[in-house]
C-alpha cells in the first residue's frame, strides 16, 4: 500500500515533550539489579588495537601524541548522578584518555569541575556556580530530568554549553547550548519512520510509560507520523512500576497479538517485563524498541531464564546510527570501545562496566570539545569564539550518524538528524538501517 513516508515533528511537541529516559537509551540506575548480578556485559570483539584507537582519536581531535602538562583547562560537568552514572563513566574515561595519550587540550590537561543535579533548585545553583567561575571555559551536561531549565537559564550567554543526552523539552528548545546527538526526539520519530518504511503495516500496537513524558513521546512524536502514513495505531499506557502481567494486559488491549508491529516505549524494567509478557501470551510480534532494552539487566534476565543469546531474539533497536556491538573504525566506535575498556571504571556500586547507554556520547562530547580547543588554542577560548565554534560544527561527529546542523526547526538545540536501527537475531547484531550500511533514517526537521 502506498503511503506518505515522512512527517515533520509538530509544534505541539515543543510544549508537550518530556521524553522518558527509556527512549534515549540509558542503562539501569544503580538500584535496578544490575549491580547485584555481577554479570559482565559482553564486550564486542574485533574492536581494533589500542594503537589504532589512539590514532583515530589523534586524527579526530587534532591532538599531539603524549601526556598533557601545564596548567589545567577547566570544563564544567553537570549530571543527575543518582539516575545516570554511566554518563560520568564515559566522560571521565575520555578525560583520562585525552590527558594520558592525546596531549590534553592544546597540550594542557583537562580538569572536570563537577556539579550534581537532584532537584530543580540544583539546576540554578550549578548553573550559577559554572557561570561565575572565570576559570571554566565551557560546560558539558550529562543527562538529567530535573533542573534543566534552571541550569540553561543560568548558563545562557555566560558559557558555551555542549548538551549530552537530551530527554526533556528544555534540552531541545533552550538557547544556552546545543546537542550533537539525535536525542530522544530523533529516536522516537525515527522508529515511527522505520516501522512504516520497513513493514508497511496496517496497524501498530504501542505500549508506553503512562506519565507526561511517555504520553508525549507516544502521542506527539510517534502517533502523528503513523497517522500521516495511514497506519492505525492503538496506544496503551502502563505505570513505571508495571509488571509482566500488567504489560501483558496492556499488550492485549493494544492488540499486539494481531498487530503488524509492536512498538515498545518503556523503561529497562518495562522491556524485561515485555519479554516475559510476550512469552506468557504465547505470541511472536515484530518488536521495535529503543537501545535501553539491551542493558545488562536484560542480559542477566535472559541468562536466568536459560535463554540462549544475550538480548531478545529478533527485536529491532533504535539508536544514534552506530552500534556498540558492531564497532567500526570510521565512526570512532572502535576507538570508544577500546579506550573505555582501558580507562573506564564501574560506577554506581556496580561491578560491571556499563559502557553502553549514555556513556558513549559523553566520551564523544569530551573528545569533541577537545577538538575545538585544539583548533582555537588555549589562549583564544573567550565565550563568543568558543560558543560560535560549538554552534557552527557540522560534523562528522564521533559515533553519531550524519551531518550536524544546529538551530533549525522547533528543536533548535538538537543538531543530530539521523538515527539507526539494528536487529539482534540468531545471536548476532545486524545493521538494518544505520550509518554502518549507509542507510540511516533521516528525521525530518519541522
Which DSSP string do the residues of 380-391 spell out, in sequence order? ---HHHHHHHHH
Residue 109 to residues 70, 202, 332, 424, Cα–Cα distance (Å): 7, 56, 22, 40
Three-state secondary structure call for residue 108: strand
| Peptide bond just before 396 cis, omega within 30 deg | yes
Residue 94 near residue 59 (C-beta atoms within 8 A): no
Q: Rounded to a whole number, what is the distance in angstroms from the first to the last CA of the chain?
A: 26
Measured in whole angstroms, how far is the alpha carbon of residue 122 from the centre of its chain?
Answer: 23
Within its chain, how far is the Cα of 427 from the centroid? Answer: 24
Residue spans of beta strands (DSSP E) within 224-357: 232-238, 261-265, 287-290, 316-319
Cα–Cα dist 57/336, whole Å:
9
φ, ψ of residue 222 in degrees (nearest 5): -85, -55
E strands along 80-147, which residues?
110-116, 136-141
Domain coordinates in residue numbering, the chain: 12-22+185-319+421-442, 34-183+325-419
Q: How far apart are CA 159 and CA 381, in angstroms?
A: 10
Asked whether the beta carbons of 287 and 195 are under 8 A apart, the reply is no
Its CATH class, for the domain covering 34-183+325-419, is alpha beta
Domains 12-22+185-319+421-442 and 34-183+325-419 share a fold: yes
* DSSP state, residue 10: P
Structural element, H or E, at residue 163? strand 161-163
* Cα–Cα distance measured from residue 237 to residue 442, given in angstroms and rounded to the nearest whole number: 28
CA pair distance 115, 275, nearest whole angstrom = 37
Per-residue pLDDT of the chain (446 residues; tens, 9 = 90+): 333 334 444 444 433 344 444 444 444 333 333 333 333 344 454 458 999 999 999 999 999 999 999 999 999 999 999 888 999 999 999 999 999 999 999 999 999 999 999 999 999 999 999 999 999 999 999 999 899 999 999 999 999 999 998 888 899 999 999 999 998 889 999 999 999 999 999 999 999 999 777 787 898 889 999 999 999 999 999 998 999 999 999 999 999 999 999 999 998 899 999 999 999 999 999 999 998 888 788 999 999 999 999 999 999 999 999 999 999 999 999 999 999 999 999 887 777 888 888 899 999 999 999 999 999 999 999 999 999 999 999 999 999 999 999 999 889 999 999 999 999 999 999 999 999 999 999 998 86
Confirm if 214 and 265 have CB atoms less than 8 A apart.
yes
Q: Domain 12-22+185-319+421-442 is in which class?
A: alpha beta
* Four-point Cα dihedral 357, 360, 366, 367, nearest 10: -170
Amino acid at each position: 500500500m502506498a503511503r506518505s513516508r515522512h512527517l515533520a515533528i509538530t509544534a505541539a511537541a515543543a510544549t508537550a515533550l518530556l521524553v522518558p529516559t527509556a527512549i534515549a537509551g540509558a542503562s539501569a540506575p544503580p538500584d535496578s539489579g544490575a549491580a547485584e548480578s555481577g554479570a559482565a556485559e559482553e564486550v564486542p570483539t574485533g574492536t581494533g588495537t589500542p594503537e589504532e584507537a589512539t590514532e583515530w582519536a589523534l586524527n579526530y581531535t587534532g591532538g599531539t601524541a603524549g601526556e598533557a602538562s601545564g596548567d589545567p583547562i577547566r570544563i564544567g560537568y553537570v549530571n543527575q548522578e543518582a539516575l545516570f552514572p554511566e554518563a560520568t563513566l564515559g566522560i571521565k574515561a575520555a578525560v583520562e584518555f585525552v590527558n594520558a595519550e592525546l596531549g590534553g587540550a592544546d597540550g594542557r590537561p583537562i580538569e572536570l569541575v563537577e556539579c550534581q543535579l537532584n532537584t530543580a533548585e540544583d539546576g540554578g545553583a550549578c548553573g550559577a556556580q559554572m557561570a561565575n567561575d572565570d576559570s571554566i571555559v565551557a560546560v558539558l551536561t550529562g543527562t538529567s530530568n530535573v533542573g534543566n531549565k534552571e541550569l540553561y537559564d543560568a548558563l545562557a550567554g555566560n558559557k558555551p554549553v555542549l548538551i549530552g543526552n537530551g530527554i526533556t523539552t528544555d534540552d531541545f528548545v533552550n538557547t544556552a547550548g546545543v546537542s550533537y546527538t539525535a536525542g530522544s526526539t530523533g529516536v522516537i520519530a525515527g522508529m515511527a519512520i522505520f516501522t512504516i518504511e520497513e513493514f508497511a503495516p496496517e496497524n501498530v500496537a504501542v505500549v508506553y510509560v503512562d506519565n507526561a513524558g511517555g504520553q508525549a513521546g507516544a502521542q506527539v512524536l510517534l502517533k502523528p507520523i503513523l497517522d500521516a502514513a495511514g497506519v492505525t495505531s492503538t496506544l496503551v499506557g502502563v505505570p513505571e512500576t508495571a509488571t509482566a502481567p500488567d504489560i501483558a494486559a496492556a499488550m492485549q488491549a493494544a492488540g499486539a497479538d494481531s498487530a503488524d508491529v509492536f512498538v515498545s516505549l518503556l523503561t529497562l524494567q518495562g522491556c524485561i517485563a515485555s519479554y516475559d509478557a510476550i512469552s506468557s501470551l504465547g505470541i511472536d510480534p515484530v518488536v521495535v524498541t529503543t537501545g535501553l532494552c539491551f542493558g545488562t539487566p536484560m542480559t542477566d534476565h535472559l541468562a536466568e531464564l536459560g535463554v540462549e543469546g544475550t538480548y531478545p531474539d529478533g527485536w529491532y533497536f533504535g539508536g544514534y546510527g552506530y552500534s556498540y556491538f558492531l564497532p567500526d573504525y570510521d565512526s570512532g566506535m572502535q576507538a570508544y570501545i577500546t579506550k573505555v575498556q582501558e580507562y573506564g571504571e564501574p560506577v554506581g556500586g556496580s561491578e560491571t562496566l556499563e559502557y553502553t547507554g549514555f556513556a558513549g556520547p559523553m566520551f564523544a562530547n569530551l573528545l569533541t570539545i577537545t577538538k575545538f580547543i585544539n583548533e582555537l588554542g588555549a589562549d583564544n577560548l573567550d565565550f563568543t569564539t568558543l560558543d560560535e565554534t560549538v554552534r557552527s560544527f557540522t560534523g562528522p561527529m564521533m559515533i553519531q550518524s550524519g551531518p550536524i546542523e544546529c538551530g533549525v526547526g522547533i528543536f533548535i538545540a538538537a543538531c543530530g538528524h539521523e538515527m539507526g536501527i539494528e536487529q539482534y537475531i540468531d545471536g548476532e547484531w545486524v545493521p538494518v538501517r544505520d550509518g554502518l550500511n549507509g542507510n540511516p533514517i533521516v528525521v525530518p526537521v519541522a
